[in-house]
Amino acid sequence: MTNFEIQGLDPEILKAVKDLGFETPMPVQERVIPVMLESDRDIIALAQTGTGKTAAFGLPLISAADASRKEVQGLILCPTRELCIQITDDLNDFSKYLPDIHIVPVYGGASIEKQISAIARGVHFIVATPGRMLDLINRRVVNLGQVRTVVLDEADEMLNMGFIDSLNDILKVVPKERRTLLFSATMPDRVANIAEKYMNSPVEIVVGTKNSGSENVRHLCYTVSSKDRYNALKRIVDYNPSIYGIVFCRTKRETGEIAEKLIRDGYNAEALHGDLSQAQRDYVMQKFRLGNIKLLVATDVAARGLDVSNLTHIINYNLPDDIETYNHRSGRTGRAGKTGVSIAIAGLKDKSKLKQIEKNINRQFEHKDVPTGRTICEKQLFSLIERMEHVDVDNTEIDSYLPAIFKKLEWLDKEDLIRRFVSLEFNRFLTYYKDAEDLKAARPEADERKKSSRKDRRSERANDEQKGSRKAEKGYTRLHINAGKKDGVYPNVIIELINQMEYGNSVRIGKIDLMQKEAFFEVRSDQAKMLLNDLKNVFYRGRKVIIKAV
């Protein structure tokens, strides 16, 4: 199956899907939609958030709805108010061209009277949190006698949040001849028990590996002593100039403290925790969704159901007590086909927890040293330059001011000008990191490294000398480049420099020797001249590199 057309969905829904820009079904949709359209079997789908599961159940559900019957045909239960609203929004998007289909969200913390009157007007689907749904059932203001499908979305979260009794009570009052769909990121015993009790030989669908972290997410670990935790966070943020992410803390208090410190230190951050009023939480979430806040500092509970698909980073300010929570946190980045980074700021005592997490997500952490002041400054500087290169210049607006500005800056030459403009924005980092010490990870491996580092440096130097005096292979010419490993020059960089010249596959590169501050690479002697000529004006990380024959 390659697209939505051949799945047999209602044409009006296909039109809406097209408007949403969905071109091909995501894996969970490819698996769930046909089972829903072609059979009445129950389905268990193990799928993380962000895998497209709302459309997987939502599209066929709406496609099979009978708008002329004004009765509740489907009930979708989910753990949080935010997810409830999100699912309702999605279902409304899917039924955009089916105006007679009505969907209502019901959740706690909002006026029940309004929800009751919305239901009384006639609805086809109710999207509900379990507590509020049960309240409505107990008040006898909703008739579920015609429900044909029940969806349990994020079943593991609903059970984690203690909704087991409400779920049992709700599932008792919906008709027995219904279809039940259960979506869950994980399958702990509690979820398996629910499935066993309420489902009938379900089709089991696993999207990705069960309990495994998304392929799109890199897992990085910085080990620091607890006194350096906050500074490490700042450096990680500074090292990632375009960061848009969530910093997870363990407690409401820590959340408030970290957010406050970040704001005081000039970061675009805000706290989200249970002590805020619903209106305050909505406000913060809205700002975050719009990208007006770059760092949301949150507890797990507060961030549940917050659906933002383009987060670049998840930062675990502390590792969670429950291993599974790491999986949930990191699943919030790398969504909808994008890549993401999940960062653990770990303490020395977290070693065994890290191992358990690795086992759980089926992936290894990449252990990193906290970025040094110098690397952060470099990263920020180049990000600034890049932003400047790509800035939209509104000529019509700015032109009238330019003559006066040019006149005022006449006394500065080009280099001075650049220096000053860059410093204007860059000084904050330069000043802060000027004498900043490295936050060396004090983990045992780092200690080992420290002991042997002097010895290593000596042998590295000897090694470099040996590389420097090496002779070219037969038929090859040895070229020297004035940048090395310290500058980030590795074989891929050398190959990329040559590829920029678009010779196709014709250039043959021989041996590459990398040293700290310089490198050698060999090219076929008959191509050396052409290369030397073409590579006269190449830049790497904003700096001109010089390539010469040895």
57 binds ligand AMP (CB under 6 A): no
Give yes or no for a contact between 169 and 137, defined as CB atoms under 8 angstroms apart: yes
Half-sphere exposure of 497 (CA within 13 A, CB side): 24
Binding window for ligand AMP (CB under 6 A); candidates: 18-26, 133-141, 216-224, 357-365: 18-26
Q: Cβ closer to ligand AMP: 82 or 228?
A: 82
Binding window for ligand AMP (CB under 6 A); candidates: 51-59, 240-248, 266-274, 489-497: 51-59
Give yes or no for a contact between 522 and 507, defined as CB atoms under 8 angstroms apart: no
Give yes or no for a contact between 31 and 205, defined as CB atoms under 8 angstroms apart: yes
Q: Cβ closer to ligand AMP: 54 or 166?
A: 54
Among 31, 53, 132, 313, binds ligand AMP (CB under 6 A): 53
Sheet strand arrangement including 476-481: 509-514, 519-524, 476-481, 547-549
Q: Coil, strand, or helix at residue 41? A: coil
How far does the chain reach from its first CA to its final CA, in angstroms?
A: 58
Q: Cβ closer to ligand AMP: 234 or 329?
A: 329
Binding window for ligand AMP (CB under 6 A); candidates: 45-53, 172-180, 253-261, 532-540: 45-53
Measured CA to CA, the distance from residue 31 to residue 24 in angstroms comes to 13
Min. distance of Cβ 81 from ligand AMP in angstroms?
A: 16
Min. distance of Cβ 530 from ligand AMP in angstroms?
A: 45
26 binds ligand AMP (CB under 6 A): yes
What's the full length of the chain, in residues?
550
Among 22, 222, 288, 365, binds ligand AMP (CB under 6 A): 22
Among 1, 6, 120, 336, binds ligand AMP (CB under 6 A): 336
How many residues in the shown chain lie near ligand AMP by CB under 6 A?
Answer: 15
Among 13, 25, 224, 255, binds ligand AMP (CB under 6 A): 25
Lookup: tokens for 19: 């408007």
Give yes or no for a contact between 522 and 509, defined as CB atoms under 8 angstroms apart: yes
- For 32, 99, 128, 549, the CA distances from 103, given in Å and listed in that order, are 21, 11, 11, 72
Half-sphere exposure of 231 (CA within 13 A, CB side): 18
User: Which of 393, 400, 345 shows the shortest CA–CA distance to 367?
Assistant: 345
Beta-carbon contacts of residue 209 (< 8 Å; ≥ 6 apart):
362
Site string for ligand AMP, 302-331 (x = CB under 6 A): -----x-x----------------------
74 binds ligand AMP (CB under 6 A): no
Binding window for ligand AMP (CB under 6 A); candidates: 52-60, 233-241, 385-393, 454-462: 52-60
Measured CA to CA, the distance from residue 70 to residue 451 in angstroms comes to 76
Q: Cβ closer to ligand AMP: 29 or 184?
A: 29
Give yes or no for a contact between 23 and 2, defined as CB atoms under 8 angstroms apart: no
Q: Cβ closer to ligand AMP: 37 or 422?
A: 37
User: Which of 147, 153, 154, 104 shows the shortest CA–CA distance to 126?
Assistant: 104
105 binds ligand AMP (CB under 6 A): no
Q: Cβ closer to ligand AMP: 43 or 441?
A: 43
Residue 544 burial by Cβ neighbours in a 10 Å radius (0-12, 13-18, 19+): exposed
Among 49, 166, 330, 333, binds ligand AMP (CB under 6 A): 49
285 binds ligand AMP (CB under 6 A): no
Min. distance of Cβ 94 from ligand AMP in angstroms?
A: 10
Give yes or no for a contact between 365 and 220, defined as CB atoms under 8 angstroms apart: yes
152 binds ligand AMP (CB under 6 A): no
The one-letter code for the residue type at 499 is N
Q: Cβ closer to ligand AMP: 55 or 272?
A: 55
Measured CA to CA, the distance from residue 246 to residue 295 in angstroms comes to 6
Among 14, 52, 107, 159, binds ligand AMP (CB under 6 A): 52
Binding window for ligand AMP (CB under 6 A); candidates: 49-57, 107-115, 167-175, 286-294: 49-57
Q: Cβ closer to ligand AMP: 205 or 523?
A: 205
Min. distance of Cβ 243 from ligand AMP in angstroms?
A: 20
50 binds ligand AMP (CB under 6 A): yes
Measured CA to CA, the distance from residue 59 to residue 14 in angstroms comes to 9
Q: Coil, strand, or helix at residue 389? A: helix
Binding window for ligand AMP (CB under 6 A); candidates: 43-51, 325-333, 459-467, 522-530: 43-51
Question: Residue 367: what are its φ and ψ, rounded to 5°?
Answer: -80, 130
Min. distance of Cβ 90 from ligand AMP in angstroms?
A: 7
Would you tell me which residues interact with ligand AMP (CB under 6 A)?
22, 25-26, 29, 49-55, 307, 309, 335-336
